[in-house]
Amino acid sequence: MTNLFLPLVAKMDPTDYVGFTFFVGCMAMMAASAFFFLSLNQFDKKWRTSVLVSGLITFIAAVHYFYMRDYWASNMESPTFFRYVDWILTVPLMCVEFYLILKVAGAKKSLLTKMIVLSVIMLVTGYLGEAVYAGQAAMWGFFSAVAYFAIVYEIWLGGAAKLAKEAGGDVLAAHKVLCWFVLVGWIIYPLGYLVGTADGQWYSSFANLGLDMDVLYNIADAINKIGFGLVIYALACKKTA
């Protein structure tokens, strides 16, 4: 294990803020995973799955951040492939959390399937536009955006929103916070897509913002994934008490 860390630390530039956020993001995700996993036994059985999924989300992200940190240190370029592999695993799990907390209001597996399918479409089309068919980025980005807004509609106004109102109380409050994470916290990802694919596209004139998207991605990932888990943790604590 020592051999893995020492070469990277020796090469790390003190002004390499991207590398710094990769390292901090990895440690933060690992700490969050340990916290969620070690707290499982304190909850009623019906809430343990939700907290377990929260731990899986941050654990998967921690593993990928370890590899993304190494990739950045070796190549000094954005680890787009590893980032999408992380998202294709963690984002559907974040969508699963809506189904898990709404089961108390009678959520059916059709909601689970819908959320997973929409999230996978959003990510696969995003990857195709950013990494495979860069010349058609606008088209693939449109498909990805449609899937994203379908998720937003489902949780804010659709079937998931209705179930949350039926559940009321702590479940409704937690659902609303998760909705805000999706609407506001996830907005960094389409913004990053626009910046990363702006070259030659119709939105080039206003998408080239001069932002270091890897730093913003890393901060947003930590806030969104750990924050998601903490909302679920707080709900499980209230329901268990």
Per-residue pLDDT tens digits for 149-176: 999 999 999 999 999 999 999 999 999 9
The candidate with the shortest Cα–Cα distance to 208, out of 190, 191, 186, 189, is 191
The answer as to CATH 3.30.450.20 being correct for domain 2-240 is no
The predicted structure's pLDDT at residue 208 = 63
The candidate with the shortest Cα–Cα distance to 66, out of 186, 74, 91, is 74
Interatomic CA distance for residues 130 and 114, integer angstroms: 24
Q: What is the mean pLDDT of residues 96-124?
A: 95
The predicted structure's pLDDT at residue 5 = 46
Interatomic CA distance for residues 222 and 136, integer angstroms: 30
Q: 221 and 87 in contact (C-beta within 8 Å)?
A: no
Q: pTM for the complete prediction?
A: 0.91
Q: 94 and 57 in contact (C-beta within 8 Å)?
A: yes
Given a cut of 80, whether residue 207 has pLDDT beyond it is no
Domain ranges of the chain: 2-240
The predicted structure's pLDDT at residue 206 = 62
The predicted structure's pLDDT at residue 11 = 63
**Residue 167: CB partners within 8 Å, gap ≥ 6?**
102, 104, 105, 175
The candidate with the shortest Cα–Cα distance to 181, out of 94, 119, 118, is 94
Q: How many C-beta atoms surround the C-beta of residue 57 within 10 A?
A: 29
Given a cut of 60, whether residue 7 has pLDDT beyond it is no
**Residue 119: CB partners within 8 Å, gap ≥ 6?**
91, 92, 94, 95, 147, 151
